[in-house]
Chain A
Amino acid sequence: MKPFLSVNDVTVHLGGRPVVDHVDLEVRAGEFVALLGTNGSGKSTLVRACVGLVPVTSGSIELFGTALPKFRSWHRVGYVPQRSNATSGVPATVYEVVMSGRLARRRLFGARNQADIEAVSAAVEQVGLLSRLRDPVTDLSGGQQQRVLIARALAAQAELLIMDEPTAGVDHANQDVLADLLGRLVHDGTSILLVEHELGALEPLIDRAVVLRDGAVVYNGSVDDVAVHEHSHMHPHTAQPDKPGSLSGEGIWR
């Protein structure tokens, strides 16, 4: 089986400077890969290149075995961008924003069908925001808005989730719940590529960690040995969090 994501010798220039430098990376079916590194290490640029938001200077990227420029099956990919403060000029509810995650599965001029509505409710329930479904996104806290973006990616029912620092600005309690959610997704067979600069509660879930420094891969292997390679920025936690699965899906996140 072809890897879901395959990055081959990719270099990305931003403003004339190589930000990603001859990187190889693979995410296989069912794998949970963490892409780690400090700010400015190029990890965010690399995942943005993986979904076609940033052009690559050299090398190639394949999604599900298809070269990125020819890739059309976007319903197989769920993307959670880094949280931006840019809100739009017109109010939009949680329901409306999450529904836009179904776009890759909808036809032109087609009305939303039962599957769309059910997927949206399920996604919003998974992030614990069902009671806020009809509220405008701008009424929510920053952490809740981040969860709306995660729900939007979940609504696509994608096989590969690409998340750019979903825990940025999210407190520890919420990180535990996110860990539980991602644990269940991986258990159900979803592949995940996660960009983070600190793993925290997510660490036990990670199959493989890739560490970038100055745009190049300096480590690719088990998450247990990451600390040795990136000791100044990785903080091995002292208390082991509860096993995923044993946490309830809601509660703290409400």
Chain B
Amino acid sequence: MSRARNAIVSALVLLVGRRRRRPKPEETRLVPALPPNPVAELVVLALLGLSSLAALGFVLIYAFGDSLPNETQLLGAALGLAFLFFAAALIVVGLKLVPEEELAEEYPPHEHPGEQQVIAELVDESGTRFTRSRLFKLGLLGAGGTLGLAILTPAVSFGPLFHVGSFLRTPWRRGRRLVDENGRPYKAADIEKNDFYLAFPEGTNDEEKDQMAASLVVIRLDPDQLHLPSHLEGYDADGILAYSRICTHAGCAITLYRAPLFQPDEPRPALVCPCHYSTFDPAAGGTVTFGPAGRDLPLLPLYVDSSGYLRAKGNFDGPVGPSWWGVRMWKAQP
């Protein structure tokens, strides 16, 4: 009990007593002397105390807060408040307790002509033994440049250069069946109107499914609704169409199929990319009707085999994925 009283008394002496200390006799000071501000001082101490409490709280929540439902919120509040109390203390120090000075001084000189002169002379005079200084500079430049080139050369092995093959290759070839994400082959009868299906080539593993040319969006339209352009004639199998699932604009997956329930007063069927809303008309061979895509959606020709399975009739009518310089120069290759 008396111990506690002693502690309180000494704390009070520490807090209040220091203030009573006599200032030293006024000498030539660098920083102007200002009267003490006991209120601000107390506020700072209180804020620092709160800060340490909050920081301690953070440690405790970390240690024991396992079962709490809002652990992250409590941790964040504790740590954030610890910092903010500390910041508040510093700000009070800065605004109330530190002498406010505004000093003036000269900006640095615009330039140092003397030093400039010395540096230039140093460089020039050091080179007087060289009689062919221009050739020397050229040699230095050449060696430095080629050395730099040599150091950078290994970075070429990052990846294949001058190799467009991979951009044209697709896993599709004639006869390959279309399967769903579990590897079950699609029958033509499975594909219903107004529904859309994700399809892959048969026999691909998970990694190959992520190749851009692997995935398809398969839909069925009324054959009399179709008006495919002449070069895509026969790409559908009884109205079933298989488009590349990758948008020709920026490579996002086309996972939006606008399938009107009642044609007369609802928007026409469309395949839409959710990234920049490029909209493709599946009935017209994947032509762009809105949005930024600059190329039609590649279409995979299909046929139905004798057991009713959907198979690729060949390859896409053009390379899959976003455009690059040669995207219109070559056909997709198996």
A and B found bound together: no
Q: Which residues of A contact B (CB under 8 A)?
A: none
